[in-house]
Amino acid sequence: MSIKITLPDNSIKEFDAGVSTLDVAKSIANSLAKKAVAGKYNGQLIGLNDALSADGSLEIITKDSDEGLNVLRQTGAFVLAAAIKALHPEVRLGEGEAADDGFYYDTDREDGQLTIDQLPAIDAKMKEIIKANAPIEKISMSKADAKKAFADEPYKVQLIDEIKGDEVNGFKLGDFCDFEESVLLPNLKDLKHFKLLSVAGAYWQGKSSNPMLQRIYATAYYKEADLEEDGKRRQEAKERDHRVIGRDLDLFFVDPKVGAGLPYWMPKGATIRRIIERYIIDKEIADGYEHVYTPVLMNLDAYKTSGHWDHYRDDMFPPMDMGDGEMLELRPMNCPSHIQIFKHHIRSYRELPLRIAELGMMHRYEKSGALSGLQRVREMTLNDGHTFVALDQVQDEFKKILKLIMAVYEDFNISDYTFRLSYRDPKNTAKYFDDDEMWTRSQSMLKGAMDDLGLDYYEAEGEAAFYGPKLDIQTKTALGNEETMSTIQLDFMLPERFDLSYVGADGENHRPVMIHRGIVGTMERFIAYLTEIYKGAFPTWLAPTQIELIPVSLDQHMDYAKLLKDKMLKAGLRVELDSRNEQMGYKIREAQTQKIPYTVVVGDKEVDSAAVSVRRYGESAGEEMPANLFIESVEAEIKNYSRDGKHKRGEGQAQLDK
């Protein structure tokens, strides 16, 4: 019996039934067969040696594709489990998966979990298994037989119970077998370039109510050069990790004993945050916004009216019963609060656009396993704003908001970003506000505004908020990952649900359109982003300490140093005077370690000539100049948001100047 296989170029080839992906690859080119690691048959990933028994389309998955790398890493997870069981038969296995940057396996042991000290032995055992290069055999069994085979593996038994149908697929390597629905390499000759990375706790299946297992992280590549490059990237990530920098520079801390996901801002971190908050408020006020303060608690009924309770209940903290029938909720977003500001007075068309802004504190019920430094927290302060406009003002206001966002980006020297128009999914409209006309009109408005501005953008279906389409501004982190920094969202739904109105020129009530916007997102995530971009070496205008004053002699030069400090403070500079009884070289090195933009040393020569010896961060040589000229130059640099090139901002600056 012959079958017809359609290839990606739409050509059709005939083969005998039972042909494998590898056989098809060989029929095309030997070079393709050498790179082939799997196939995609009628859209389903299959093993390289799996038999094809019917007509269908086939794509050859090669080593140089993301899916091919995923197959290698899934195989790595399988071999990792085999090595663990060979060394530690008492370990109970959880799940092993390939991930974006490697693979992992979850383990559990009653007599103490596996530790990082045991990774070298596991590494050696993996290499021993790989060197033997025994074939990986694909197996299949009934659920009943599988549960018997894994009777001593409670987590595996649970996974077997969750499988639909009565058949369980798996793989066997020597005496070790594991079941999984994924695809593995047929042998281990390509699994040479791997590295075990770390161990960390992980809740079983990601649920905090489940037992805490021990997760072993690793990665693998087809080429040693790629593995080495990955090591460099991971080292760079470690050096840029805002959690590490935040600890070393004493910016913030999070202590699970007093509240996981609840950052405490130390004086230096609070200074950076305060500078950004003052900047944002001044910028928004100058652009026509009225700043307000609203409570972090609100009656639960407001979130039921807004729809947030229906759509985001799992991300909200449990309501608080006040005992008199009132249920209060920690707010997960600020829009219902700003709606109350709008509703407090009768509004006229002459007031529109009405722009309301707030640095609004919000709370999200994040699971413990998802929390990470300042990037994922349970309490956050959003640079939030809402504009209420007439329908014919939507596009102009949208453009105005976007220009404000771009002006802020310029001041922070953020240049690597793209625009994404986020629409509802036309194939799955159930989770969105039910008004087809609204969606068509609002999506057209956003697209029209972007076209008028002549800006490049891409369109993404399924990324809209439940109440309306939005523009997402996607930025690159210091390590090249993409995340949403700013958003502008159109909303026809909430004005309807809260019965908002304004009196038009005709004396009649009209429904406004609401525009949600965030310029730099939350203070927490934005400062995490900046910390990693700058590698902790903040530009002068943002640095918590801008100048470190060091007298050569505490006895002879302290008076002059104090005089300089007073002048600098009066000029609005953030300066510290190091009066400790330590060696000058030690003080200078510590100022560099703390990444202070300017270290100023004063001795006899400086006292005699009313000068300072200035060393910029990252430079080994100092420069002597008149004290007044130095103060003026720093003032000018701050006024220009450190964009004059005088301050070396660290390696992270290259990320921003691309």
Q: Is 291 annotated as a binding residue?
A: no
CB neighbourhood size of 603 (10 A): 16
The neighbour count for residue 436, using CB atoms within 10 Å, is: 11
- Known binding residue 311? Answer is no
Residue 516 marked as a ligand binder: yes
Q: Which residues contact 25 (CB under 8 A, 6 or more apart)?
A: 32, 33, 36, 60
Q: In 285-392, at which residue ranges do the beta strands (DSSP E only) sit?
A: 290-291, 297-299, 320-321, 327-330, 347-348, 354-363, 379-389
Element (H, E) at 159: helix 154-162
Please give the torsion angle defined by the CA atoms of residues 193, 198, 200 and 202, in that order, rounded to the nearest 10 degrees: -10
Q: At what angle do helices 267-286 and 523-534 cross, to 10 degrees?
A: 110
Q: What is the C-alpha radius of gyration for the chain, rounded to an integer number of angstroms?
A: 30
Whole-angstrom distance, CA of residue 631 vs CA of residue 141: 78
Pairing of strands 598-602, 547-551: parallel
Query: The tokens of 530 are what?
Result: 């900046």
CA distance 423 to 148: 49
Q: Is 642 left (phi over 0), alpha (psi -120 to 50) or beta?
A: left
| Nearest-10 crossing angle of helices 394-411, 267-286 | 140
Burial class (CB in 10 A: 0-12, 13-18, 19+), 269: buried
Q: Which residues are annotated as a binding site?
A: 335, 386, 516
Q: Which residues are annotated as a binding site for Zn(2+)?
A: 335, 386, 516
